Chains A and B, each alone.
Chain A
């Protein structure tokens, strides 16, 4: 028993600073960086959007990531444990449960996307896209219409994620992301260089970067920039909290977890603009096609390029690294939390979590419409709620000044002044509430059922999680008092 207890108390740590930084980037840089950032920029005034986005990145995302990481680093706990250490045992641990449930839901529909990318990676190596008579639309439709293929690739993606997580933080996640993220950057640079040398490529850059300053006075531009700044950096999803809890005693938080993670993630988004849009415009594709831009449009142009099969392989391998690293990282949030809150070891926990996300992900793998609904519900409502709970806890329960002087500036590579306090206490929570109200008002007319469903689901989730944790802790207390084990 003693050895089991020792094993429980010896918390794993990152092996290197580089490993931690790549893991943070790996979690934040997902498939959305590849196709969403370029077209969101182009649609919202190009350079004007970038300016708004960069301002919000510095004002909100960077301080927010510092707060979330510091919470994890101070408590040395996963999501539920961090709330327990902050509020005490009881109902308030339900806030942590909400974050875990939201990330597990997110993982369940993200792993089928990883499976889709995996399918395209495999076919890029099989040179399918350059075969005579290849039709990208028919290929995509055939894939999405086959449950065997969609659920099969979802299964392989889940097994890959589980396989990495079995080895833990240092020997699993860190070992994989340390080469995966640099290779992702290299592949994007290679594709960008090729794309920028295509005839007509500058039209893509002109679309994405030419500033229309009128957009700066439009609310929609700032809303889109806020969404991109908050969601692409993964603020408040539990990633920074969980990974911060594995930081070593002398590790810095502000420079690595805050500044590098947020700006590095956006830098990769900018690289995606250079990689994707020149190709899109050189071949006259529709720049606002969303996810189909990658799976349908880009696939159709690779065969037309000199050395096309090579470019397809390079592009999809990079895309796969972005998607898989995010899949690994968001699954780890549930794994870390459940290891701490139960008597399961890592292997058992990985098996349980991966089985749950695999089962929950089957409907999303089977039906793109279901995946879209899940994304609408949890992307629009669940993630802002999780962000609000985590940043709200730092801002209003712990207090930003306490966390700043005790934890954030400890071992810091850059000093963070008291300007940080009002950003955490007022600005980010107000922005999150504003975003949620804005989504409610703008979506209620167009998609009433989904919008109301999302609000109801999140309310039920919040109340339900709080009640569940209250009952669980009360039962534990009763058992201890009555002499049970």
Chain B
């Protein structure tokens, strides 16, 4: 019994949609881990947020000054900014200009 064209399309489509992303995700996350460990060994610390993620974190902190999670969010924000100022090579794609513009957030009164 030969497989129909539709069955072939489904089989190949499933492989492309499942196995390809699974292998890609595995390789990508293991490579990223290797890169993080390399940077940690060289520099002792690494940046923890991408430019987009750190920008959103800052917006959220500024919009929610009285939130119960705000102190932890601010601590994480400041920690990332401090790290970016200290290290030579960031993990995420930070430009020198973007790093220079970053400032720690003081506690809002």
Contact = CB atoms under 8 A, between A and B. Distances in A.
Interface stretch (A163-171, A223-231, A318-326, A399-407): A399-407
Interface string B31-68: 01100100010000010111011001100100000010
A405 B30 contact: no
Interface size class of B (residues with CB under 8 A): 35 or more
Interface string A401-437: 1100110011111010000000000000000000000
A210 B10 contact: yes
A206 interface: yes
A475 interface: no
Given A263-B22, A270-B14, A402-B67, A255 B3 contact: no
Given A21-B29, A406-B73, A401 B60 contact: yes
Interface stretch (A46-54, A92-100, A286-294, A462-470): A46-54
Given A406-B72, A410-B76, A250 B46 contact: yes
B17 interface: yes
A205 B19 CA distance: 17
Interface residues of A, number: 40
B29 A211 contact: no
Q: Which 4 A-B pairs have the closest CB atoms?
A: A47-B10, A409-B53, A260-B25, A17-B33
A405 B60 contact: yes
A205 B14 CA distance: 13
Given A211-B7, A250-B40, A263-B25, A406 B69 contact: yes
A406 B73 CA distance: 6
Nearest to A271: B19
Nearest to A407: B76
Given A255-B28, A406-B73, A409-B49, 11 more contacts: A47-B7, A47-B14, A205-B7, A206-B4, A209-B11, A210-B4, A250-B40, A260-B26, A267-B19, A405-B57, A413-B28
A259 B23 CA distance: 11
Given A209-B10, A211-B10, A406-B73, A270 B29 contact: no
Q: Is the interface of B mostly helix, strand, loop or mixed?
A: helix
A255 B29 contact: yes
A405 B73 contact: yes
Contacts of A21: 26, 29
Contacts of B1: 200, 202-203, 206
A406 B28 CA distance: 23
Contacts of A44: none
Nearest to A48: B10
A346 B83 CA distance: 36
A334 to B, nearest CB: 28
Interface in A31-77: 46-47, 50-51, 54
Given A46-B7, A256-B25, A263 B53 contact: no
B90 to A, nearest CB: 12
A75 to B, nearest CB: 11
A415 B32 CA distance: 14
Contact of A415 (B28, B48, B53): B53
A376 interface: no
A270 B10 CA distance: 11
A78 interface: no
Contact of B19 (A51, A270, A398, A415): A270
Contacts of A200: 1
Given A250-B36, A409-B56, A415 B50 contact: yes
A214 to B, nearest CB: 13
A174 interface: no
A211 B14 CA distance: 12
13 contacts: A47-B14, A54-B14, A209-B7, A209-B10, A209-B14, A252-B32, A270-B14, A270-B19, A402-B60, A402-B67, A409-B53, A410-B48, A413-B29
B79 to A, nearest CB: 10
A264 interface: yes
